[in-house]
Amino acid sequence: MSSVKVVVIHGPNLNLLGEREPHIYGKKGLDSINTDLTDYATENSIILAVMQSNSEGAIIDFIQENRDAKGIIINPGAYTHTSIAIRDAIASVKIPAVEVHLSNVHAREEFRRHSMIAPVCLGQISGFGANSYLLAMTALINHLREQER
């Protein structure tokens, strides 16, 4: 696979990873997760565009501004359960997306079990802590390679 662009979007409160409820979200900070993702992407000829925002509008703008990307990895945080606007942005750019969650959202509160985003994604990976992002990257890379064949 030649060099392709993938965007990684970290939603609200993920800037506090490592400090925020480490018993749920782990002790690894966002900078460390991004470093791991960048290293893995480089090994696989992927160019990353990474952002974190607590603002729904900024996330939508980023998706639209990067519609030349070949894939999206998104952890929409709490917007998972509420944002039709982010869902519509992903659907409108027609880019394969993978939804990511650090915790197993299906083993938590009832309201966390419904995703507005998942229906417009290839799949959802949750419950593997920071490794959820790397698993998502692997799944997305495999999908893109299959599309090339």
* Catalytic residue annotation: 25, 101
Helices (H) and strands (E) counted in the chain, each on its own, are 5, 5
Residue located via tokens 């709490």: 78
- Report which of 10, 2, 24, 13 is spatially closest to residue 133, judged by C-alpha positions: 10
Rounded distance, CA 80 to CA 19, Å? 21
Residue located via tokens 């599309």: 147
Rounded distance, CA 148 to CA 81, Å? 33
- Report which of 98, 146, 135, 108 is spatially closest to residue 24, judged by C-alpha positions: 108
- Report which of 38, 41, 44, 40 is spatially closest to residue 2, judged by C-alpha positions: 44
